[in-house]
Amino acid sequence: MIRALRLLFLFGSVLFGLEAFAQRTNTDSLLRVVDAWEHEHAPGDTTGLVQMNRLAVIFSMRLQIDRQIDVLRRAVAVAEADREKLSVGKVRDRVSRHLIDSYGLLGDALTYQGDLESAMHNSERMYSTALEIGDSVQAAGACQHLSLQCAMIEDNQRALEWARRCLALTPKNGKVPLAQAYSELAQQLYRANAPDSALLLWRKAITLRIQDRAPITAFDAHDGCFRIHMEAGDLDSAAFHLLRARESFGAEPSGINTSRMELMEARYLMALDRSEDALPYLQRADSFAVAHGLHAGRYAIAQLQSTAYHRLGDLRASRMAADTALTEIKLHLGIDEARRTAAFQERITMKAEQQATAAALSAQRRVLIIASIACVVLLIAGVLLFRAVRRGKRFAAELGRTNQRLVATQEQLVRTEREREAEAVRTRIARDIHDELGGNLTKLALMGDLLRGSPENALPNEVSLEALSMEARSLKEGLNDVVWAVDPGADTAQGLLDHVRDQLTRMFMGSTTQLHLDLRTSGPVAPLTPDARRAIYLVVREAAHNALKHAKAQHVHIALELGPEHFQFEVQDDGSGFDPDAMEGRGLPNMRERIASLSGKLEVNAAPGQGTCVRASGKL
């Protein structure tokens, strides 16, 4: 309980001395000012009282408790004397408020020194003065101090009465004082063996603290809820309040609360049977308890250390911790009380030993069960692994055989495709020879027959040397086209363009029609299939032949472009033109069929007397 009083003392000091601490007040100069004011001031002048309370705060921060108590007693004496000289009114009430502050600070300082009787006397005067001027907040604060002081002398009945009075006086619209009142009353109910009521009030304090975002009372409330849930064996709820206590502690850390926080962590780990993990927390908690002279805290810590070492099998360390607990309880309660609790401590030690033995047996059983389960699991895993490996080998062998069959099938398909391509080439050569060369050969045969039946040195009218020469050249060109169509070396885009240029140049040679060629590629072009290059060549040649022979054009413009995935060409002349709808014959249908085989489209724009334009595009 002294920890809570010290915490209140520190916060009270900060409340009245923040400005003095920030400005590093020169205490000697301030004392001289206070001395002069004490002898010269008029009743109702509270300047010196303010400075005395500030001096008390400064001495508190420097841990000069004796000087603090001396200054506060002087302030109380001066304020009480002034109140006797003043009549009831605002001036007297102002002096009374500063007197209440001095009472509170003096009570805290005396509590810190251990003079609880004098501390309670000042707290009672603080309570009566606050009631006299109608300040319920300060009256509730005095009740809170009295409740803590009664608890320190183990007068739990009076502590509970003061706590209830504190709750009754606390304004319901002031969240922070009300939360403190709930927390203090819960503490006293817990001491009075009423954990359910204490838990309810601590939860109310937590709710108010969450709304106000102030961590100190929240930490105390979570600590109390944690203890109650731990005693009830509700580890899940205990873990929740432990987590919230960590958050509250992190928002407002202090040396005293550090010891409590470490002790909470250790208690929870001990409940989880993790004694080895709990020891570092207990050691840190003990260090803070030693630094602040908390004998009751060291007693609780040493008890847990004794139990933890015993669970770990270190009986010597367990005995030493038990001796430390006995020493600390003697210092806290006095030797007579320690004698009364010695037997109880021994029973606790024996119970801890029994729990440790039972825990060890339980751990051995768990280890045996886990080992048995592990063996069974490993056996099952081994069987499954063996079956999986064997199944994998069978699958791999079957996969290999399947791959071999697939390779053989692929090779057979390749051979079949090659044979099909060879057959297609032979068929195309035969068709081309029949289509391209058959007519020329027939004409030559007829001319030969006519020559054979004519008189010597006389040529028939149907036969001339020029006609024979033209048919021979036509036959040669047709043969060249057949050879070019099946030549693998001509499958390039440039090969197609060169062949088109060569053949068209030959076609227009000796005519009066001017030929304009624009043959090019756009980007890299993949090798062309024989069907594609033959179809493009024949359509371009047919369009050029029509322009030369039938249109009687003066100029013929031929543009051919080969791209990576497409082609396009245009044959335009300024000849006589024609009506495409009235056109008969197989010329245009054949051209469209060849372009359609390349997923393309052929357009003919012509009109009588306006020339002709043939456009086509498609995919390569």
Q: How far apart are CA 6 and CA 297, in angstroms?
A: 14
Condensed to tens digits (0 to 9), the pLDDT of residues 498-521 reads 888 988 888 888 888 999 999 999
Domain that holds residue 528: 489-619
Tell whether the model's pLDDT for residue 568 goes beyond 90.
yes
Question: What number is the average pLDDT over the span 359-385?
Answer: 91
In this prediction, residue 616 has a pLDDT band, given cuts at 50, 70 and 90, of: very high
Question: What number is the average pLDDT over the span 490-494?
Answer: 79
For the ranges 10-14, 97-101, 423-427, the lowest mean pLDDT is seen at 10-14
474: burial class by Cβ within 10 Å (0-12, 13-18, 19+)?
Answer: middle
118 located within any domain: no
Condensed to tens digits (0 to 9), the pLDDT of residues 17-64 reads 444 444 444 677 888 888 888 888 888 888 888 888 888 888 887 878
SS3 62: coil
Q: How many domains does the chain have?
A: 1
Tell whether the model's pLDDT for residue 335 goes beyond 50.
no
587: burial class by Cβ within 10 Å (0-12, 13-18, 19+)?
Answer: middle
In this prediction, residue 150 has a pLDDT band, given cuts at 50, 70 and 90, of: confident
Question: What number is the average pLDDT over the span 530-542?
Answer: 87
For the ranges 143-147, 195-199, 320-324, 582-586, the lowest mean pLDDT is seen at 582-586
What's 574's domain CATH number? 3.30.565.10
pLDDT number for residue 577: 84
Q: How far apart are CA 176 and CA 205, in angstroms?
A: 9
Condensed to tens digits (0 to 9), the pLDDT of residues 210-227 reads 555 554 567 888 888 898
Tell whether the model's pLDDT for residue 567 goes beyond 90.
yes
Question: What number is the average pLDDT over the span 522-545?
Answer: 86
582 located within any domain: yes
2 located within any domain: no
11 located within any domain: no
Tell whether the model's pLDDT for residue 438 goes beyond 80.
no
- Inter-CA distances, 572 with 10, 167, 365, 518, 556, Å: 106, 109, 101, 12, 6
pTM of this structure: 0.39
pLDDT number for residue 176: 45
In percent, the amount of the chain with pLDDT more than 70 equals 76
In this prediction, residue 462 has a pLDDT band, given cuts at 50, 70 and 90, of: low
Q: How far apart are CA 230 and CA 386, in angstroms?
A: 50
pLDDT number for residue 473: 67
428 located within any domain: no
pLDDT number for residue 448: 67
pLDDT number for residue 17: 44
SS3 527: coil
541 located within any domain: yes
211 located within any domain: no
Question: What number is the average pLDDT over the span 589-615?
Answer: 89
605 located within any domain: yes
At 582, which amino acid appears?
Answer: A
Tell whether the model's pLDDT for residue 16 goes beyond 50.
no
pLDDT number for residue 440: 63
